[in-house]
Structure 1
């Protein structure tokens, strides 16, 4: 490998904490990565990694050198992208991981595809915790807080959970006026695919605690929307997923004053990666169109 190739081998190995994974990403053997790192250490006169049969961690010198290398590659990618921008519209493949609820974001995604036909979207829908860098994603969309210092983030918008049912259901079973009234209703629950737990309804319960009945459980949102529309019970759903149903009157909300919830969707991408034109337009477009006012 040349000098730039050795630096890239080091960066990939440092981020993956594995010669094998780094080699797989670069299309070379793990021994080639190991030799490149060894030559780099010999040239620099310092150890970059603490290595054992089970683990591989950066030395203090290695951590410092990694940040410098990231800046070098960021500047190189920036220069390449500046030249690419002179060639026309953003183009190329964009690998994005979306939550399962992202299926309900398809109107915004479809609008992006129409606006930027030369960008090829590769979408992976899952609720598992993906490793953006190791799995080669350009970006991920997730709800919740971010604790990975390797990632940059931009807020796409906020959402709230709502309790909903069909007008027909409430005509038959009555409309709950306080949280305790839910004990006598059919409740449709969402189960997290990642840990198998039921999503807690964000009710202000006061002094009295109670168990919500379980009439049906699903690990994706779409079946719950359908069951609620068919009058089979009350579901707790994010507001962005049921805008059309609320506008058309097929679903109505209850107990709004007794709910306490606010969630945030964010776009995340590797901090070592220059914000390429295709990624920049995707981030900007989704921030403007995913949760329209």
Structure 2
């Protein structure tokens, strides 16, 4: 698995901005009962973890990630947040060091988009769930981005990010596929809901937190790679990034859709 956005301090900051801005939209309806055993698969630097653990303070949350550096960063973030109900280990979700049926719930956020075989990943996680246990999956879909003023250069810059993720073995359009992926992986009771972010001048916290600091920053972050791999020439790339920033001005708008899915593991 290759994380196309890299592991820079700027990317860590972007992930934290994204999590803070989208807390209510993505997490308000996720709460786990006291005593629940919860696995967060692919915790990254812990940006979502601190929200997940704080929202379910009496659940036992175990977080894994394939990157040792990310696990260290996530552990430090949780410690700073004063969370006592969460532990971290480095592990590959395809070969996690837990017995079958170890968990009551699994949480996966912004992970499947980076995997070459998301169905296999979901099936592996199903093996770690007790019969009837739940999985929650959240993913974005870069094809859902639209904005005013419209810009061909901006759409091409976004397309470069989609192409780079595909070259790395992932799928930046995976949000629209959550329902069939979970069904193929053997889950029951699959339900998917779109979560739309819409930002305009009447919602300055979203203009800054999402349009500028999350989405545009994400596109900007792959500029050197996109130009270096000749996906787009440098002037067009620069024009695309300027156009995305242009949508944050008083007459601009920006919209993007995340998809949140829940499902259950089959009974024994």
TM over 0.5: no
What TM-score, normalized by structure 1, do the two folds share? 0.25
What TM-score, normalized by structure 2, do the two folds share? 0.27
